[in-house]
């Protein structure tokens, strides 16, 4: 006989019918209460706080009460005790949130015990799942608090972003901050892990970026490569299991200039100017892996400048067969003037897809003045 | 009729027996394969990759194969199809990891459909749970990588710590770092949330502490209060939903001095010197809440100095009724010479308790020279 612990409330209009199953469950270690009037059920649940209900259909009790119980105590599992005459009712009640059924008689007490054990175990797992999900949602809120406003107009450019995590939290992140002299520093980063581990590394990255902005506030000659070098040197002593790919840019509206550096971030950013739409250069090693030096690129920007950066998660939700095909599709999207974040999210179906295999992040920059 | 999706493998030694349930499941939208020789089961699972197995006991198949399936495909659910003659077998097989049973006949196809739906749903939830747990464990590894070595001898003091999270990840953290001049800065911090959200804030704190150490490396006149002030100023712009309580100390072996500050951390640290065991001062507001200024305290330390700091989670696992009683018990523990981390963990039963309601952290410091 299996050994159980917990309190069970047996609901049976005819008290005598359930004697055998009550004593069998008591022998297994459960604390049993019996209620013979279904309408007293709710008040007894409130006092006794059972872990499980066994609801007998043998004596045709008022089953409308079951609906009340399930609406009030969503996580309290209910097992139906039926005989072959009440199997049609079982089907109906299972459709109405009853958790399981037991169709045996006195001799099947071992089976009943198993069903009870399994149902209690499922209820505990459900509760654990709920707690873990709540926990990750709380983590997500912290994480969202670290992201910048979207959209935001800084230094004559409108920045916007979209992050869709594959689990609850995300390893992808973006940020953009305007310096006192009008330049804007921005990045899109992708941590090699996703979920909670990715989120922790993202949070560290977020703290680093705050420092970076202060450190380079007045260092007007520092390049985007100097900034990646600095981030890398800061990350290395942390010996993280994970690395970070990053696209980092500095926009200078007054000088019509974009400077950018890439730490192994793929796919490449896509920039549109008056006449052309181009992939930016790839390159560099991920951050936090080894001592390395980054390069940088300067490009002139026109009045109609815009920039779109995706994280590589976007490639996994696209239907084209080859990576090259996916890249060309992204290029085409941007070239066709889809540079607004909502339009891109729409086109890629990011709000409709039920699950994404990897975090997906988008960052858009549009020149406003 | 409920509508399902997925592939089901029906295992039945006598093909004809299951015709009704096969057609009923097919009508519900499932893709059905039937295997009539149990020993071919494993090779068919490999090819067909079913989402669920219905194992018929009606024709007495070789059930030893079930053990092989369950050991090789742990997450593949198995429903037993039984009649009243095989109910004893059902009990045995449920004990051996079969997931559910169906004891109905042809006319109960609706019930079978419900059992199948529920079993598939449970399997999906289990898989989601596994992914969330894996995710949090990966987060935990990142988090553990941010903690210092334990034990570690720094500046003539042995530091050790123990962190027991209430979920998988923790909002409690500790760190200790020796400066170039021999002083050691250390802290025990407790984020108001636990789990993933607490862990993210802890990671931010960990990054801040690295900066703090560098910033105050050569500022020998800076007090522990200056350091808390600095952390607070750094945290405020992040607008975190959560706050941090912290005990922060600076040990100076050469000058036989401990300086410490407290940001609302409770219970108080317990310090033992040659002749006395004392609670240190409480006070201050938590970090990250509002603009505030912290105070500091200087105490002389003897040759036999040791210090124990607990996070408030420890109070929740203690049996004494009042907070006062719990504090006195902690004081007594330390006064009786239990200042070794393993001994404290033992005494408090921290390795044996199956669940802790809040994160528990311990930090011990023992003077070595």
Confidence label for A15 from pLDDT (cuts 50, 70 and 90)? low
Among the partner residues B95, B135, B240, nearest to A145 by beta-carbon distance: B240
- Per-residue pLDDT at B105 exceeds 90: no
Q: How far from B318 is each of A196, B115, B194, B249, B360, CA to CA, in Å?
A: 30, 44, 19, 26, 12
Q: Does A237 touch chain B (CB under 8 A)?
A: yes
Closest CA to A324 of A266, A244, A262, A239: A266
Rounded mean pLDDT, A39-59? 90
Percent above pLDDT 70 for chain A: 98
- Per-residue pLDDT at B2 exceeds 70: no
- Per-residue pLDDT at A303 exceeds 60: yes
| Whole-angstrom distance, CA of residue B282 vs CA of residue B268 | 6
- Please give the pLDDT value at position B17: 58
- Please give the pLDDT value at position A17: 58
Question: pLDDT of B314-336, one tens digit each?
Answer: 999 999 999 999 999 999 999 99
Q: How far from A76 is each of A9, A42, A51, A271, CA to CA, in Å?
A: 11, 12, 6, 56
CATH 3.30.750.24 for domain B147-367: no
| Whole-angstrom distance, CA of residue B280 vs CA of residue B309 | 10
Q: By the 8 A CB rule, do B169 and B139 touch?
A: yes
Choose from A147, A200, A209, A231 for mutation: most chain B CBs within 10 A: A200
Answer yes or no: do A139 and B95 touch at CB < 8 A.
Answer: no
- Report the first-to-last Cα separation within chain A, whole angstroms: 78
| Whole-angstrom distance, CA of residue A78 vs CA of residue A100 | 7
Confidence label for B58 from pLDDT (cuts 50, 70 and 90)? confident
Choose from B112, B192, B203 for mutation: most chain A CBs within 10 A: B203
The HSE-up count of residue B108 (CA atoms within 13 Å, CB side) is 23
Closest CA to B202 of A99, A180, A186, A196: A196
Q: Does A214 touch chain B (CB under 8 A)?
A: no
Q: For the purposes of burial, counting CB atoms within 10 Å of the CB of A267, is it exposed (0-12), middle (13-18) or buried (19 or more)?
A: buried
Q: Give A299→chain B minimum CA distance, Å.
A: 33
Helices of type H across B73-108: 87-95
3-state secondary structure of B200: helix
Answer yes or no: do A197 and B141 touch at CB < 8 A.
Answer: yes
Q: Which helix (H) or strand (E) holds B65?
A: helix B64-72
Question: pLDDT of A242-287, one tens digit each?
Answer: 899 999 999 999 999 999 999 999 999 999 998 899 999 998 999 9
Q: For the purposes of burial, counting CB atoms within 10 Å of the CB of A235, is it exposed (0-12), middle (13-18) or buried (19 or more)?
A: buried
Q: By the 8 A CB rule, do A182 and A252 touch?
A: yes
Answer yes or no: do B241 and A142 touch at CB < 8 A.
Answer: yes
Question: pLDDT of B225-284, one tens digit each?
Answer: 999 999 999 999 888 888 999 999 999 999 999 999 999 999 999 999 988 999 999 989
- Please give the pLDDT value at position A107: 73
3-state secondary structure of B279: strand
Angle CA(B212)–CA(B217)–CA(B219) in degrees, nearest 5? 100
Q: Does B238 touch chain A (CB under 8 A)?
A: yes
3-state secondary structure of B329: helix
Which of A58-72, A167-181, B98-112 has maximum average pLDDT?
A: A167-181
Question: pLDDT of A321-355, one tens digit each?
Answer: 999 999 999 999 999 999 999 999 999 999 888 88
- Tell me which DSSP letter residue A16 carries: G
Question: pLDDT of B180-216, one tens digit each?
Answer: 999 999 999 999 988 898 999 999 898 889 889 988 9
B7-137 has which fold? Rossmann fold (3.40.50)
The HSE-up count of residue B208 (CA atoms within 13 Å, CB side) is 26
Q: Give A129→chain B minimum CA distance, Å.
A: 6
CATH 3.60.40.10: which residues of chain A? 147-367
Q: For the purposes of burial, counting CB atoms within 10 Å of the CB of B297, is it exposed (0-12), middle (13-18) or buried (19 or more)?
A: middle
Q: Give A257→chain B minimum CA distance, Å.
A: 30
- Per-residue pLDDT at B1 exceeds 50: no
Query: Which residues lie across from B176 on neighbouring strands?
Result: B186
Chain A positions touching B90 (Cβ under 8 A) are: 111
Answer yes or no: do A242 and B108 touch at CB < 8 A.
Answer: no
Structure tokens given for B113: 């459909």
Q: By the 8 A CB rule, do A166 and A313 touch?
A: yes
Q: Does A282 touch chain B (CB under 8 A)?
A: no
Closest CA to A223 of A263, A183, A260: A260
More confident residue, B120 or B88: B120
Question: pLDDT of B8-57, one tens digit each?
Answer: 999 887 655 578 888 889 999 999 999 887 778 889 999 999 999 999 88
Q: Which helix (H) or strand (E) holds B357?
A: none
Chain B positions touching A199 (Cβ under 8 A) are: 139, 196, 200
Q: Does A233 touch chain B (CB under 8 A)?
A: no
State the helix-helix crossing angle for A87-95 and B109-146, rounded to 10 degrees. 40
CA dihedral for A290, A292, A297, A303, sign (positive or negative) = positive
Chain A positions touching B111 (Cβ under 8 A) are: 87, 90-91, 94
Structure tokens given for B41: 């089961």
| Whole-angstrom distance, CA of residue A114 vs CA of residue A167 | 33
Among the partner residues A132, A210, A239, nearest to B132 by beta-carbon distance: A132
Question: pLDDT of B70-87, one tens digit each?
Answer: 889 988 999 999 887 888
Answer yes or no: do B141 and A241 touch at CB < 8 A.
Answer: yes
Task: Please state the φ and ψ torsions of residue B69, each to the nearest 5 degrees.
Answer: -60, -50
Buried-state track A96-131, b at ≥16 Cβ within 10 A, e below 16: eebbbbbbbeeebbbbbbbbbbbbbebbeebeebee
3-state secondary structure of A75: coil
- Please give the pLDDT value at position B348: 94
Answer yes or no: do A87 and B104 touch at CB < 8 A.
Answer: yes
Rounded mean pLDDT, B286-308? 96
More confident residue, A140 or B250: B250
Q: Does A211 touch chain B (CB under 8 A)?
A: yes
3-state secondary structure of A293: coil
Percent above pLDDT 90 for chain A: 62
- Per-residue pLDDT at B305 exceeds 50: yes
Rounded mean pLDDT, A312-328? 95
Answer yes or no: do A204 and B208 touch at CB < 8 A.
Answer: no
CATH 3.40.50.2300: which residues of chain A? 7-137
Among the partner residues B141, B196, B240, nearest to A169 by beta-carbon distance: B196
- Please give the pLDDT value at position A211: 84
Neighbours of A156 (CB within 10 A): 15
Chain A positions touching B358 (Cβ under 8 A) are: none
Tokens 């996070």 label which residue? B311
Answer yes or no: do B197 and A146 touch at CB < 8 A.
Answer: no
CB < 8 Å from A in window 93-152 of B:
94-95, 103-104, 108, 110-111, 114, 118, 122, 125-126, 128-129, 131-133, 135-136, 138-139, 141-143, 145-146
């Amino acid at each position: 006989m299996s050994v159980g612990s917990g309190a069970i409330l047996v609901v049976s209009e005819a008290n005598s019918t359930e004697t055998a199953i009550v004593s069998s469950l008591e022998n297994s270690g459960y604390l049993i209460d019996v209620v013979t009037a279904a309408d007293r059920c709710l008040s007894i649940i409130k006092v006794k706080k059972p872990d499980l209900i066994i609801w007998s259909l043998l004596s045709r009790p008022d089953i409308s009460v079951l609906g009340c119980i399930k609406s009030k105590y969503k996580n309290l599992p209910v097992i139906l005790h039926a005989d072959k005459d009440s199997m049609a009712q079982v089907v109906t009640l299972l459709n109405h949130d009853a958790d399981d059924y037991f169709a045996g008689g006195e001799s099947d007490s071992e089976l009943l015990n198993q069903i009870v054990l399994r149902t209690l175990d499922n209820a505990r797992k459900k509760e654990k799942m709920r707690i873990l999900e709540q926990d990750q949602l709380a983590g997500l809120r912290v994480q969202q608090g670290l992201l910048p406003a979207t959209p935001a107009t800084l230094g004559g450019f409108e920045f916007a972003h979209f992050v869709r995590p594959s689990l609850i939290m995300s390893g992808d992140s973006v940020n953009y901050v305007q310096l006192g002299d009008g330049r804007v520093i921005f990045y899109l980063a992708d941590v090699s892990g996703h979920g909670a581990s990715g989120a922790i590394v993202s949070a560290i990255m977020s703290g680093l970026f705050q420092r970076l902005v202060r450190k380079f506030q007045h260092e007007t000659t520092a390049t985007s490569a100097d900034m990646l070098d600095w981030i890398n040197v800061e990350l290395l002593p942390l010996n993280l299991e994970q690395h970070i790919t990053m696209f980092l840019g500095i926009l200078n509206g007054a000088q019509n200039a974009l400077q950018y550096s890439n730490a192994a971030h793929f796919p490449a950013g896509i920039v549109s100017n008056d006449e052309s739409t181009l992939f930016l250069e790839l390159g560099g090693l991920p951050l936090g892996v080894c001592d390395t030096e980054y390069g940088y690129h300067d490009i002139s920007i026109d009045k109609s400048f815009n920039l779109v950066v995706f994280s590589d998660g976007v490639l996994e939700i696209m239907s084209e067969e080859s990576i090259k095909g996916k890249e060309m599709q992204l290029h085409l999207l941007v070239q066709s003037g889809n540079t607004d974040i909502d339009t891109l999210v729409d086109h890629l179906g990011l709000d409709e897809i039920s699950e994404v295999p990897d975090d997906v992040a988008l960052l858009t920059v549009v020149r406003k003045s």
